[in-house]
Amino acid sequence: MFVGIDDEAVGVIVRQSNDLPWKVIDPVNAGAAHAVAYFRNIAAQHWWMGTSRSFKLEGKREQPAHLHIEVREVSIATATPPAKAETAVFSVLGAASLCHFLNDMMQALLPAVYPILQGNFTLSFAQVGILTFVYQLTASLLQPFIGAYTDRRPMPYSLPAGMASSMLGLITLAYAPSYEVLLIGGVLLGIGSSIFHPETSRIARLASGGSHGLAQSLFQVGGNFGSAVGPLAAAFIILPRGQDGLAWFALAALAGMIILTALGRWYKKNGHAGRPKAGAAARHSTLSRKKVSAVMAVLIALLFSKYIYLAAFTSYYIFYLMEKFGLSTQHAQVYQFVFFGAVAAGTIAGGPIGDRLGRKLVIWVSILGVLPFTLLLPHVGLVPTVALSAVIGFVLASAFPAIVVYGQELMPGRVGMVSGLFFGFIFGIGGIGAAMLGALADWKGIIFVFDVCAFLPAVGVLAIFLPNVRELKS
């Protein structure tokens, strides 16, 4: 039957015979008041089910306890009580998505305030580049190592510690007296992001209730909105106040710490904080280590093509519209917002579609399938360009949730490492790709950049080498 101590449900207890004590055999999540009680007769394989009017459990958790219970209604059945269906914990997923929003918003503030920092410290472009490099080095390269470490030694409260690092980074950047201190602030901000992504992605999977794609979509869309809001927050909050305005966002980090502490408590309370059992599978049971490595390389190549192309839109789409169609900056920004909105919608859709139709199909269609649209875009007018950009953004964005979950299914014992590898890679390749495309634009022009990038989705043909993980499971 369900029992509780201090009005908190702690488990199901049974008594095998009249002279044996009641014993807690399984934890449950149930309210104490008017809980459903199960009395099991082991010999007859019967269950008596009733609604309790009141009950009291005396004794300590680790010792035999005495139960006093008053049962209002009782019925008998020969079947076991119905199993509770595994469902997604949307409160946890919502909290993870909100924290992703806060994290990525704070991360987006640093490049948004480069003009302020450059003016305050008379920085050269090389110094700005070094600051970017130091930040991205810690924010991207550390992620898979942190994920691999916590795969072996789960740390449920590392999440608020990571957010605390981001908060210290913002405060350091806000009051930095020298360029060297700016670099320290960039490192602290990057460390916070490195801890956040692999661990929160793990929590999203644990709270998915089996709908892993949906959970990743909900988690990732928070980050998409955060990255989009960051520059706007910098324009309306930091620019009027100057460099010191960065400190205001320490309040956002503090809110994130509170929420992440609650997520860490959920993580630990639900039994996920223990070390994995010896011999637990680190990779897919039917695939060799060599095959898994080859498939991971294919996924990295697909991410490379996707995020280099997205870097063109993120960094240079406004300039493309202004040069090709003579638009003002304001009008070009509106059309870029259309693209970002489509990316957010695609991120939400990609995960559930992968849950239903299979992740390999989503990966295949979302990268190779977008090729006709990318090839057509440089050769049409303004209205078709905006429409095509929305289609491209939606379809391309649907790939990432599917790729992350596909990688996690390939290596079920390395969820943190896989998440850190993918999130870190896309972060790093986005920055490198933007720099490469900027150099190409200086050399050949911004329109040439979009002409060349149009062929990148052809890399999606590599998806033919991906095994169907769903069929392998069955």
- pLDDT tens sequence across 221-239: 898 888 878 878 888 888 8
Q: Which residue has the higher pLDDT, 340 or 55?
A: 340
SS3 159: helix
Question: CA 371 to CA 238: how far, in whole Å?
Answer: 40
pLDDT at 75 over 80: no
Highest mean pLDDT among 108-117, 231-240, 349-358, 454-463: 454-463
Range 355-371 burial, b when 16+ CB lie within 10 A, else e:
beebbbbbbbbbbbbbb
pLDDT of residue 278: 47
How many C-beta atoms surround the C-beta of residue 237 within 10 A? 14
**DSSP secondary structure letter of residue 83:** P
Is the separation of the CB atoms in 402 and 350 below 8 Å? yes
pLDDT of residue 429: 81
Task: Summarize the confidence of residues 404-430 as an average pLDDT.
Answer: 82
pTM as predicted: 0.66
**% the chain with pLDDT above 90:** 27
Is the separation of the CB atoms in 58 and 65 below 8 Å? yes
pLDDT, the chain, mean: 78
pLDDT of residue 404: 87
pLDDT of residue 373: 96
Shortest CA distance to 473 belongs to which of 398, 410, 427, 421?
410
Question: In 279-414, where does DSSP find H-type helix?
Answer: 289-325, 329-357, 359-367, 371-376, 382-397, 399-410
List the single range of 69-73, 295-299, 402-406, 467-471 with lowest mean pLDDT.
Answer: 69-73
Highest mean pLDDT among 38-42, 151-155, 344-348, 447-451: 447-451
Burial, 83: exposed, middle or buried (Cβ in 10 Å; 0-12, 13-18, 19+)? exposed
Q: How far is CA 106 from the centre of its chain?
A: 16
SS3 41: strand
**DSSP secondary structure letter of residue 32:** S
Question: CA 30 to CA 36: how far, in whole Å?
Answer: 9
- Beginning with the edge strand found earlier in the chain, give each strand of the sheet holding 8-14 in spatial order: 2-5, 8-14, 23-26
pLDDT of residue 272: 54
Question: CA 256 to CA 420: how far, in whole Å?
Answer: 20
Q: Count Cα atoms within 13 angstroms, Cβ side, for 396.
A: 32
How many C-beta atoms surround the C-beta of residue 322 within 10 A? 15
Task: Summarize the confidence of residues 195-212 as an average pLDDT.
Answer: 86
pLDDT of residue 86: 56
Element (H, E) at 105: helix 90-112
pLDDT of residue 228: 79
